[in-house]
Structures are given as C-alpha cells and as structure tokens.
Structure 1
Amino acid sequence: MDDDAHDPLVTPALQLGDDLLARLRDAVPQVADEAVAAIEDGIPSYADLRGRAGQMLREAVVLALGHFLTLASHNANAAMPVARSTSAAYDLGRGEARSGRSMDALLAAYRIGARVSWRGLSRVAADGGLPAAAMGGFAELVFAYIDELTAASVAGHTDELETTGRVRERYLERLARLLVAGSGEESLTDAASRAAWDPPQTLTAVALPATHVAGALPHLDPRTLHVSGDLPGLDDDTAILLVPEARGTGRAALRRVLEGRRATIGPARPWLRVHDSLTRTVRGLTLPRGRSQTVDLDDRLVDLVLGADPAALADLRAQVLAPLADLRPATRSGLEATLRSWLLHQGRRADVAAELHVHPQTVRYRMGQVREAYGDSLDDPAIVLALTIALGAPATAERR
C-alpha cells in the first residue's frame, strides 16, 4: 500500500497559482505579527516575550508559515521544508522542557497561532479567488500541518525530560556516593552544583532494605539522596538514604515514615559531614532490635558506646567482676544482676526489688554478699564507674 495514503500532509493539488502564492507569501509577515500578538495576549507565560525572545518567536512563526506555503503549493520538494519545520518544532519542545515549563503553554500557542494564521491566510486566499472546494483542502492542510508541529514539539519535550532526568539521576547518584565516601568540600559542592541539588543544613544517614526505598521516598524531602550496592560495610540488599533536616519535628516525621521498614536512623550532621552519620549508622546495624523494626540511634547512644570496643569491654568486665569469679554460676549471676540494679537505682532497695521481682530482704542479703566480696572498694568512685560501664551491656541487652 502507498505510504502517502496515511500521510496527513499529502493532499490533492490546491490549485494555488503563482500570483496567489506570491500574495500569500507577501502576507506572511503581517499574519505572523498578528499570530505573535494573539499568543502574547492570550498566554500569560508568553506575555513578557519582548526584545530578542519576542523576535525569535516571530521568526519561528514566519519560518513555519513559509514552509507551510511551500507545502501547500504541492512542490515536489515539499518534504524538505516540512522536515525543517518539524525539526524546529522538536527543538522548541526541548527548549520548553529545559526552561522548566510544561507543554500546556506551547500547545495553547499552537492553537492560537493556527487560528490566527488560518484567518489571515484564508482571507488572502479568498480575495485571490481560491475556489471554495480548494478552500476546504487549504483549511485541512493548515490544521494537519499544526498537528505535525505539535506532535514534534511534544516528542522533543518528552525526550528532553527523559534525557535530563537520566543525566540528573546520574549526577545525584555521584553526589550521594561522594557524600558517603567522605569526599572533600570542593568535590562535594561541585557535585551538588552539577546535580542542581540545593544543599540543606544537615543530612541524616538512614540504612534500610533496598526493597523499602521506593515506598519511603515519596514521603521524604525531595532532596533526599539514595544509593545502594557496592557500599563499604553493607550488603547489596541494603540501601542508604541521606535525608535533609531530620532534626526536631523533622526527625519525628522521619521516624513515622520509616516505621515498620527495618530502618536504622543515624544522627543529623552538617551535610558536608554526613559521612560521620553514615559511620554510626553502619555500626548501629549490629544492634539487636527486639520488637522495634526501626532503630533511632539517638535513642541507643549507650548501646553504641558500650559496643564500640567489644574486646575492651570484655576485659573490663573480667577485671572489675573478678571478686565474684569464683562463685557458682547461678550465685554469680544473681549477684551481678543485683549489683547492676543497685548501681542504676543508686542503692534504693525497693526499686531494685521491684525491677528484679524479688523481696527487699533478698536484695539486702545479696548486697551483703557483694560488699563482702568487694570490701571498701564499692565506696571508690572509680570502681563504681567501672562497674556501671561493665554491667551496662547486660542491662541494655535485657531491655531490648
């Protein structure tokens, strides 16, 4: 089947004589001025197109009308101006996308321009004696031509958004990786500029399963960065979010968004130092979660401190608990638990008994055994501090 049968721009000859075609071409400048004026009056976003911008719009309209008349004359080389027109329309659509504008204004401009151009050209065509039958074909060609330009602009707008989106995503990912790597200020500010990313005052590193990222992102600050895969200390199933301004009410909102997503929330840090937040977040992944699926490390600072050097903590425990080392395991365990509670409750026997679910007399008896083992050293602040730290880990473990 002939492909031309489906081409909306292929029409029967419009019987435009040389004289009428010349008159139409002479009318193009005035018709273009009328179209531009109508566009500026009818579309607010084009109302301030004065100077060079307004001149460029007029030149585009003149060019499109000139190409249209070449097509309307049914010249054997009509495909060339049509291709140039659609190419220009495609670039116009891309330009609108780069300017951050939607296609709405441009589509409205096409509609207004088509209406005004048809009114002006048809007036000249009628005055030039174009037959009524040919006038219908003339109108059909005008609006088919506009449809072609519109489609080309939409394609250009879409392609630019997709291209720009992909390029920006790459820049944002590069920025995120530089941040988690702890790169220098110059590299980070340059990467932020390239990504058109407005730096917040603080960023908070959040680790969570990669499968939960898509569900969380729509509820977070649009500037939130995310990265996954090939991250030191993390497996490929874990993603990192860098969330802006997660302090105060912002942190409470972040916790609500992440509830149930098995996230680990690090501390807020100046955005250039978010690597510090990430370091703590990675350490926090080792903490037991208990019933809580999401862990806010601001609430687990004691656990983090006690777990900073497990070997040192084990040595400390062995050292300060040596007076109890020779007791039977069950007795030793009871005395350690009682001593821990006694230290935390500052010697309040009733509170210790309530925590351990024993009689106050049992607390008194056990502490008598402890004092017998430690002697006067329990009155030494340094020993008390060491015992509190050494016994802190089991206490936090029981609370998990």
Structure 2
Amino acid sequence: MAGFSKYKNKSGEFWKFTYYGGIDPKTGKRKRSTKRGFKTKKEAQLAAEEIEKQIRIGTFKNHKLTYGDVFDEWWITHKKTIKPSTISRKRSLFKKHILPRFDKIKLLDISRQYCQEMIDDIANSLNTTSSASDVKIQANLVFKYALKNDYIERNPMEHTVIPKKDSDFTASNEEERNFWYKNEIKYFLEQLNEKAIFQYYVLFYLLIYTGMRKGELIALEWDDINLDNKTIRINKTMFFQDGKEVIQTAKKQASNRTISITDDDVKLLKKWRTLQKEYFLSEGIRKEVKNVLTREDMRPLRLAHPNDLLASHIKKEGLHKINVHGLRHTHASLLFEAGASIKEVQARLGHKDIQTTMNIYTHVTSFTAQKTADTFLEYMKSE
C-alpha cells in the first residue's frame, strides 16, 4: 500500500508517494522507493495504482535498479551453491573485470551495444580468448537472473561474441605440449634425487606417478595411505583463502577416489615417513605428523611452492617448460602409452568429464603416430 505526502521545494508544492518495489539483497524484503513531482494527490494516486498493478501482475520494472544491485541480490544465493575455492575465484573475477564496467549502470540502460563494447574491452585486456569467454559467462549469469525475476525484458548480453585474437588464426609449427616424455621424466627425477632435499623428490615423484592434483597432494594425510593394501584415498584438496589454508572435501564424485600404488611407491613412502619423523624428533617435536608433505612448522606446503620449485629446476636443467598441472598430464600420457584404456585413466585421475581425458589422449596419439611413421621408415631401410 502506497503512502502519500505533500512536500515543498523552490518550484512550489508537490505530492509524492512511497512504494515497495525491488528486493533488498541484505534483508530479502522489497525495497522502499519514492516517486516525486506530482502536482496533485490524485496524480500521485493514479501513478501509485499503476505501479502496484505492475508489481501485482509481474510486469513492474525498477528503473533505478543497477547491475550492482542485482549482482548483490544474485550473489547471496549463488555463493551457497559453489565451493569455497570457486567463491574466491568468482568474486575476484567480478571485482577485477565485471563490476568496474557494469556496477553503477542502471540495468534498463545497459544495451547490447554496450555489452559488446565491454566484451571487446575485456578480451583485449586478457591474454586468451578462453579467459574472456569465462568473464562473459559469469557476467551473463547476473543478466539471466534479472531476466528470470522480470527486472528486464531481454538479456543484452545474450548475443555478444568473443573477438578472436590473431593467434587464434595462426597455425603454429609445433603444438605446445604441457607434458614430458619418459626420458625427460627420468632425467628430472635423477637430478632431483641428487640435488634436492628428499621431500621435494617425494613431492614430484608422487605428482608424476599418481597423477594427483597439486591441491590433493598437499592435503594428503598419512591416514589416507594404506601401505599394506597399496592404496591412496583421495577425498580432499587444499586451497588458500585470505592467507589461510583451507581443506575442502572433494564434492565431485569422480574426484573422490582410491588409487592403487606399486611396491616401489610403498618403499619410497615408508622411507619418507621414517625420515620425516626423525627430522621432527631432532627438532624436539614429538607430535604425530599429519600431512605427507609439510613445512618446518608441520603446516601443509604452500600451494604455490611446487610451482616455484618446478620452474627453478626446469631452468637449471634446461628441460622442456611445463607447469605443475603438466605433471598430471604427463601421468595420463604415460598411462595411455602403457596401454591403459580411456575409462581407466579417467577413473585414476578423477576426471568428471571424459572429454578432458580424451583431450589428453589426442596428445598421446599424435606422438605415437610419429613413432609409427619412424618405425615404418626403419623397417623399409632394413634388408
């Protein structure tokens, strides 16, 4: 029910009314709004009746509602449906790329042309087309929410396109690979074993020989390893938020898995557990060690630490440049070369989508295709 009152300004006496329109994201209740500038109470009453009718039948559009208002309202519910690590990543994406361009603009004033200009600007500021596409997807979620709640009649982001970069049209002579071949792995581990502390050797050995994600390995506890049954239970991951370590259970069924390990793996882990206990005892610490990999104060490793170590050793040894995730890719590639099926590799790596596994398989088959050609040439040269 609208409330009416008379007010004065420099131009004379006028009527205004208050009504409840859009939703306040903090309270979940409708916001109180005011319409001013009516010469008579009757004019104000007629305008109020029209707004109340629109609210009642669901056609009311709040012309003051900004993109930021709708984002706040949408975010309250949306953040409850995603993982804490995803919350941090998405919030950063909105803060850095989306809200600076849309926040204060009234929702009904955002046009398709403006959205395209913003997507062009975002794509130009980012390194890859896929990064710009991710920004578009997230920004579009807010517009979809606004459309569903009848704040807008059409989605201005719907038909925007991601501009291609020159590199998208340029064929490279050699596809960049983010994995190592068997001889590169052997050399890397040999050098680590000779030059690095044993924990770092264990770190990279496990990444290569189990295919675990970096966060999964950093969160791994001794209780997750059954040395008698030769299995490792992977059911959580580690990420850092606001400078604090956060353990997150694996919500995806595929990521929650148990993998088998070999006798060599067991031997290595037994040796490391003994050395780890001896080190902490020598430091006067008798507390049971929880994590397989730790800092000197028994906290888990920093997430960025493996990245720094790998980059340093690659530079020192002149190895083909890959990132830590490339070691997981390497594990999958070697499994394929050894004859494992796509489904077996998918289960071991915890891929929810088999297409992810298939993408790795493509790299391997292109490599084996070259080996097949070389084998044929050798055969033809032989007597």
Answer yes or no: same fold by TM over 0.5. Answer: no
Given the two structures, how large is their TM-score scaled by the length of structure 2? 0.27
Decide which structure has greater strand share. Answer: 2
Decide which structure has greater helix share. Answer: 1
